[in-house]
Chains A and B, each alone.
Chain A
Amino acid sequence: MTGGAASAAHGLGQRGPVQAMPIVAMALVVLLFGVFLWVLHRSEREEETLTLIKDVLWVEQNLHFQLTSDEEKLQYLAESLGREDTTPVNYSVMARHIVTVNPAIQRVVRLDPQGRPVRSEPPVDDGPALDDAFGPSPRADAFLIARSSGRRAYSAPYRLGAADTAFEIVIPIFRGDQFAGALAGVLSIDALLTHHVPWWFAQRYQLEVIDPYGAVLGTKSRIAMPEPRRSHVVPFDPPGHGLTLVATLHQLSGNLGRNILIAAIFALTVSALWSLWAVRRHIARRIRAEEALRAEHAFRKAMEDSLTVGMRARDLDGRIIYVNPAFCRMVGWSAEELVGAGPVMPYWLPEDLVHTEEVFRAVLAGNAPANGFELRFRRANGERFDALIYEAPLIDAKGRHTGWMGSVLDITERKRAEELARQQQERLQQTARLITMGEMASTLAHELNQPLSAIASYCTGCLNRLQAGSIRPDELATALEKLSGQAKRAGQIIRRIHDFVRKSEPNVAPCCLSEVLEDCVALMEADARQQGVKLVLEIGRGLPAVMADRILLQQVVVNLMRNGIEAMASTRRDRRRLSVTVQAMDGAVLTRIQDRGCGISPENAEKLFSPFFTTKTEGMGMGLNICRSIIEHHQGRLWFEPAADGGTVFLFSLPVLCDPSMTGAADSHDERAADV
């Protein structure tokens, strides 16, 4: 792993090898690619070098071959000069022919045995001649060698004109065995190179002829090349004299393709790296997003888990798909047990399945009341509790409706508190009533005590006197008059009470008993629910109206219903049922309030309606007594009977109002359960 990759991997931290791998791979690819290029480059160089050497050798050989053929031609001419039959004319023709045909041979010079030029072909004026004025010339050296060896000799190169260099082949001429001078062929290096180095070589290499001192004597394809290049040097022999052939490789355009390739690969690498980086950035963004999502999820989960409100999500079929811990705590079943459960849910009340099922179906149909509704549920331990439920459609991320989300509040405590408050309020009112009644009773007792005490005193006084026999009739009469006066006084007090009571005479008006009963059932619903009592109201058809004080009648019904509910305190919970029925019966309207309580014992039955008799610890013993007074005030009758299935039924009848136009339109017959 490279340092960069390592640091990158380190930078990725916990993102680990998965993240580092591509970078390492990329780095390795680049590295290997570099190595590959380098190896390729080297092998190419080697091959180039080999080719160079081969080519140079070939060129050298070619030149050698050329020179050899030039030698042979000159040799032939020299030999022809050695023969007698060769005329100067012939010679000129032959020499000119040689010069013409062989472009490298500039001229042919005939030397006498002392080495002096005799004839030159072409003539000397035509071109630059070798100047012999300056010391021993290269020709002279070569001449001497040729003369002494009797074989051809090459001269050292010399300047030919301004820009050319030439060397000479000196071939001795023998006539018989007689040395008869020499033939010198002047070869221009430039011409040699120009005519005998092929074009393809010139295209690839620059060929130079260099003397031992490094001076360039001739060149082919001279191109200025700035940087040092590879070249190969072979000795140029013949002509020898330390001449060398130097072939230098041009920077070939053949590299362009490869450079393009390298550039392309480099560009690709860069783009791959860039895309890798982009991918990394993208992944980093993804990771950040995932972390944010996780954090958000954790936060939401924490929120859901810390809620005291129970959350319950159901799919469109009503199966539970999610519950939060608060809901589990509320019902006492674990999330595993609840999720996937469909109707019937474990927390439904077995005794109230029908109603719960109805509510459930209403929710699934989307008819759940927007401001919530109340249901009773049970916990795993069998305890019942009141729940306030709000249902809302569950919409997924795509905006599809996938189910229902319900928030469930345990309002048992609240209801209990409300109930307690209500009871306290009632008790307070009762106490207030009691106090008022107590006050009244006390005042009344005190008021009546006075005349009664006086009466008793007069009476006893009279008796005492009669027993002692010491009373005169007129005294007795006076006392008795006073006594009767006190009796009158007591009577007046009683009348005053009557007047007081008459002030609150019932406010009688035609009224529809079914409405009164409905109001009462509505009033008692909360009480009944708290006691687990099912209220059933049945209203007979064609119920006539009655003349009554609504408020007083309501008080009677509520009182009887409350007694019925309280009587069922020890009844099995699922049997607690209070039915209120009303029907018309020959000129009267009969109302029955039937409980399934413990019934009324015979000894209590006798005293039930007497004032101040009560079976309750906190009762005043006025309820039934007052109820009966009220009903009797309405010319009705209140009584009770033991019910068929245990318990008691209280009945009261009220006379029908004679005016048929006042008949209530309550001819509906509905039966509803108030235990929801």
Chain B
Amino acid sequence: MCEPKLHIVDDDEAIRDALGWLFQSRNVPVASWPSAEAFLADYDPAMAGCLLLDIRMEGMSGLELFDRLSAMGCRMPVLFLTGHGDVPIAVSALKKGARDFVEKPFNDNDLVDRVIEALAFDAGERARQAGQAGVAARLATLTQRERQVMGLVVAGKLNKVIADELGISMRTVEVHRAHVFEKMGVKTAVELARILAAVG
């Protein structure tokens, strides 16, 4: 897993340099590429963080790069830098799932804030994906009876009702329930329901 960072793709060297200087001033890790082709050559699915693409570039445009990355299953949020008159293009990019766009000349700290937000979102998403993989592993550790109990707990049934349905004592239900919470790494039934819903 690569370190999460901001990936800047812009054909204007001054912009790359200035943005680098700007983001470093707010401790945002930055890597930059002079063209879409160069970025694609270096692309690694394990990259994390977010992308800041210039819409207008020599060669492949930012939008095209975005399409390629989407096709390759890249999940990093993408922000576009737009110049004069590119707003309609940026809006169409938003419809395709880009996260945001920023018009030049931009309010710089606002841009930095949006990038930080995007990085956090990405981190959250990654955590969620990682969590989902964990839930599946934990579910596999449950016994048959514990699964039954978990299903009824998630359905919002009280211990007494669960005991009646399964034909076991309330005490036994409480033990199973504690086991389930421990194995699934949750503290409440609500939390349990949330992670199960995330798994689907």
Q: Which of A120-128, A260-268, A452-460 interfaces with chain B?
A: A452-460
Q: How far is the CB of B145 from chain A (nearest CB, A)?
A: 57
Query: Contact between B21 and A457 (Cβ–Cβ < 8 Å)?
Result: yes
A159 at interface by CB-CB < 8 Å: no
Query: Contact between A454 and B17 (Cβ–Cβ < 8 Å)?
Result: yes
Contact count band on A = 20 to 34
Query: Contact between B26 and A453 (Cβ–Cβ < 8 Å)?
Result: no
Contacts A442-B85, A449-B105, A456-B105 given: A461-B24 contact, CB under 8 Å? yes
Query: Contact between B84 and A450 (Cβ–Cβ < 8 Å)?
Result: no
Query: Contact between A446 and B84 (Cβ–Cβ < 8 Å)?
Result: yes
Q: Which of A408-416, A462-470, A527-535, A658-666 interfaces with chain B?
A: A462-470
A451 at interface by CB-CB < 8 Å: yes
Contacts A461-B21, A464-B25 given: A442-B84 contact, CB under 8 Å? yes
Contacts A442-B85, A450-B15 given: A457-B22 contact, CB under 8 Å? yes
B34 at interface by CB-CB < 8 Å: no
Q: Which residues of A contact B21 (CB under 8 A)?
A: 457-458, 461-462, 479, 482
Mark interface residues in B89-130 (1 if CB within 8 Å of A CB, else 0): 000000000000000111011001000000000000000000
Q: Which residues of A contact B104 (CB under 8 A)?
A: 449-450, 452-453
Query: Contact between B15 and A453 (Cβ–Cβ < 8 Å)?
Result: yes
A486 at interface by CB-CB < 8 Å: yes
B56 at interface by CB-CB < 8 Å: yes
The CA-CA distance from A461 to B56 in the complex, in Å, is: 24
Q: Which residues of B contact A465 (CB under 8 A)?
A: 25
B155 at interface by CB-CB < 8 Å: no
Query: Contact between B109 and A450 (Cβ–Cβ < 8 Å)?
Result: no
Query: Contact between B12 and A450 (Cβ–Cβ < 8 Å)?
Result: yes
Question: A454, A455, A458: which has the most chain B beta carbons within 10 Å?
Answer: A454
Q: Which residues of B contact A455 (CB under 8 A)?
A: 18
Query: Contact between B109 and A460 (Cβ–Cβ < 8 Å)?
Result: yes
Query: Contact between A464 and B26 (Cβ–Cβ < 8 Å)?
Result: yes
Which of A441, A449, A461, A464 contacts B18, CB < 8 Å?
Answer: A461
Which applies to chain B's interface (DSSP): helix, strand, loop or mixed? helix
Q: Which residues of A contact B81 (CB under 8 A)?
A: 453
Query: Contact between B15 and A446 (Cβ–Cβ < 8 Å)?
Result: no
Query: Contact between B18 and A482 (Cβ–Cβ < 8 Å)?
Result: yes
B2 at interface by CB-CB < 8 Å: no
A225 at interface by CB-CB < 8 Å: no
Q: Which residues of A contact B105 (CB under 8 A)?
A: 449, 452-453, 456
A280 at interface by CB-CB < 8 Å: no
Query: Contact between A460 and B22 (Cβ–Cβ < 8 Å)?
Result: yes
Q: Which residues of B contact A482 (CB under 8 A)?
A: 14, 17-18, 21
Q: How far is the CB of A470 from chain B (nearest CB, A)?
A: 8
B69 at interface by CB-CB < 8 Å: no
Question: Of all chain A residues, which has the CB nearest B56?
Answer: A446
Q: How far is the CB of A28 from chain B (nearest CB, A)?
A: 109
A379 at interface by CB-CB < 8 Å: no
A489 at interface by CB-CB < 8 Å: yes
Q: Which residues of B contact A445 (CB under 8 A)?
A: 83-85
Within 8 A of A (CB), among B41-79: 56
The CA-CA distance from A489 to B15 in the complex, in Å, is: 12
The CA-CA distance from A463 to B25 in the complex, in Å, is: 9
Q: Which residues of B contact A456 (CB under 8 A)?
A: 18, 105-106, 108
Query: Contact between A457 and B84 (Cβ–Cβ < 8 Å)?
Result: no
Query: Contact between A486 and B18 (Cβ–Cβ < 8 Å)?
Result: yes
Within 8 A of B (CB), among A448-504: 449-465, 468, 479, 482, 485-486, 489
The CA-CA distance from A459 to B26 in the complex, in Å, is: 13
Q: How far is the CB of A471 from chain B (nearest CB, A)?
A: 8
B19 at interface by CB-CB < 8 Å: yes
Q: How far is the CB of B56 from chain A (nearest CB, A)?
A: 7
Q: How far is the CB of B24 from chain A (nearest CB, A)?
A: 7
Query: Contact between A461 and B25 (Cβ–Cβ < 8 Å)?
Result: yes
Contacts A446-B56, A462-B25 given: A454-B84 contact, CB under 8 Å? no
Within 8 A of B (CB), among A426-450: 441-442, 445-446, 449-450
Q: Which residues of A contact B26 (CB under 8 A)?
A: 464
The CA-CA distance from A442 to B24 in the complex, in Å, is: 31
Query: Contact between B25 and A454 (Cβ–Cβ < 8 Å)?
Result: no
Question: Of all chain B residues, which has the CB nearest A443?
Answer: B84
Within 8 A of A (CB), among B1-29: 12, 14-15, 17-19, 21-26
Q: Which residues of B contact A450 (CB under 8 A)?
A: 12, 14-15, 104
Query: Contact between B14 and A451 (Cβ–Cβ < 8 Å)?
Result: yes
Query: Contact between B84 and A449 (Cβ–Cβ < 8 Å)?
Result: yes
Within 8 A of B (CB), among A95-127: none
Contacts A449-B104, A462-B25, A464-B25 given: A457-B15 contact, CB under 8 Å? yes
The CA-CA distance from A456 to B15 in the complex, in Å, is: 10
Question: A458, A459, A468: which has the most chain B beta carbons within 10 Å?
Answer: A458
Query: Contact between A464 and B22 (Cβ–Cβ < 8 Å)?
Result: yes
Q: Which residues of B contact A451 (CB under 8 A)?
A: 14
Question: A452, A453, A468: which has the most chain B beta carbons within 10 Å?
Answer: A453
Question: A455, A461, A465, A482: which has the most chain B beta carbons within 10 Å?
Answer: A461
Which of A461, A462, A489 contacts B14, CB < 8 Å?
Answer: A489
Q: Which residues of A contact B19 (CB under 8 A)?
A: 457
Q: Which residues of B contact A464 (CB under 8 A)?
A: 22, 25-26, 109
Q: How far is the CB of B25 from chain A (nearest CB, A)?
A: 4
Question: B12, B83, B106: which has the most chain A beta carbons within 10 Å?
Answer: B83
Q: Which residues of A contact B108 (CB under 8 A)?
A: 456-457, 459-461
Q: Which residues of B contact A442 (CB under 8 A)?
A: 84-85
Q: How far is the CB of A443 from chain B (nearest CB, A)?
A: 9
Q: Which residues of A contact B85 (CB under 8 A)?
A: 442, 445-446
Q: Which residues of B contact A459 (CB under 8 A)?
A: 108
Given contacts A457-B22, A482-B14, 8 further A-B contacts (CB under 8 A): A442-B85, A446-B56, A450-B12, A450-B15, A452-B105, A456-B18, A460-B22, A462-B21
| Selected A-B contacts with CB under 8 Å, 9 pairs | A453-B81, A454-B15, A458-B21, A462-B21, A462-B25, A464-B25, A464-B109, A465-B25, A482-B14
The 7 closest A-B pairs by CB, nearest first: A460-B108, A457-B18, A464-B25, A445-B84, A454-B18, A461-B22, A461-B21
